[in-house]
Amino acid sequence: MRIFAIKDENLSVDIALGWLIYYVRAKAFYIELPEDADPWETPLLLSSFVKRGQYSVSSYWSRLWVQQRIIPRDRQNIGQVLKENGLTEYDEFQLLLLTMGRCAQDDCYLEEIPSEQLPEWLAERWKTKVEDVVPLKEGRLLTFFRNGEVRIADVKLLSEAHTECQPFLVNQDRFARVEVQPDGYGVMWNERAMLSDRELYEHSQAIPLTLDDFISFVQHRVVSAGEACRILECSRQNIDDLAKRGKLHPIRRDPRNTLFLKSEVIQRNQNG
């Protein structure tokens, strides 16, 4: 992770207008803005978020802000530009470093800082970052947060403000492809279809469950096909046949393994 303070050369005081955070392996940008930000001083594009009371900018819009400050990919002589700067391919982050975010549209620039220099209140904001997510039926998400809370969110309600998420609600297989955004900034189905951690936290219902509870359930109540063979004292071929005939119901199947609820396997054994 690389962290940059967003500053303005024209301001009389040396303060950060926001922070650009880049996750190297995920190649994802996120921008954090202070809650007392002045929309007139906040960089263009980001000021609209301040006006709406949104201070964590999604990776999609953060990337757009970065792209406004670097050489565009479709520039006619882009190959020559990359070569002159020692780059073998188009890399948004490396291009951003060349100018440290300076561009013609404003007087902003970036200054890299260590994580220790981030404000303490940002750590408080990050307590609602997402640790894990489980897709449920009927467009609901079981979401585990960094502060230890577990909540259920109805994506159908949230999708009224996020129409890009609606196509994933009509098909359970597509809905189940939900993933956690880098460092828990929310969940996503693709770069446009995203829900922030704050939205999920504020528009969800808390339930008396912890991530440790959920892990314990998986550890003790989910078995592999091999374990099912041991319980039923049969071959893998028999397990596959039971599943094919609907006598056992896999909860996950992939080319390497199949998982079952232990309770169903035991009941099958007890009932003959």
DSSP state of 75: -
Structure confidence by residue, pLDDT tens digits, 117-136 = 999 999 888 888 999 999 99
Distance CA 262, CA 272 (A): 15
Distance CA 196, CA 74 (A): 31
Judge whether 124-208 and 213-271 match in fold: no
Q: What is the pLDDT of residue 269?
A: 75
In 3D space, the residue among 144, 232, 229 whose CA is nearest the CA of residue 184 turns out to be 144
Highest CATH level, class, for 124-208:
alpha beta
Domain locations along the chain = 2-116, 124-208, 213-271
Tokens representing 89? 């391919």
* CATH number attached to the domain at 213-271: 1.10.1660
User: Which uninterrupted H or E stretch holds 222?
Assistant: strand 222-224
Q: What is the pLDDT of residue 12?
A: 81
| Residue numbers of the chain with a pLDDT score lower than 50 | none
Strand order in the sheet with 2-8: 56-57, 28-32, 18-23, 2-8, 108-113
Q: What is the pLDDT of residue 4?
A: 97
Structure confidence by residue, pLDDT tens digits, 56-82 = 999 999 999 999 999 998 888 899 989
Q: What is the pLDDT of residue 251?
A: 87
In 3D space, the residue among 159, 202, 180 whose CA is nearest the CA of residue 28 turns out to be 180
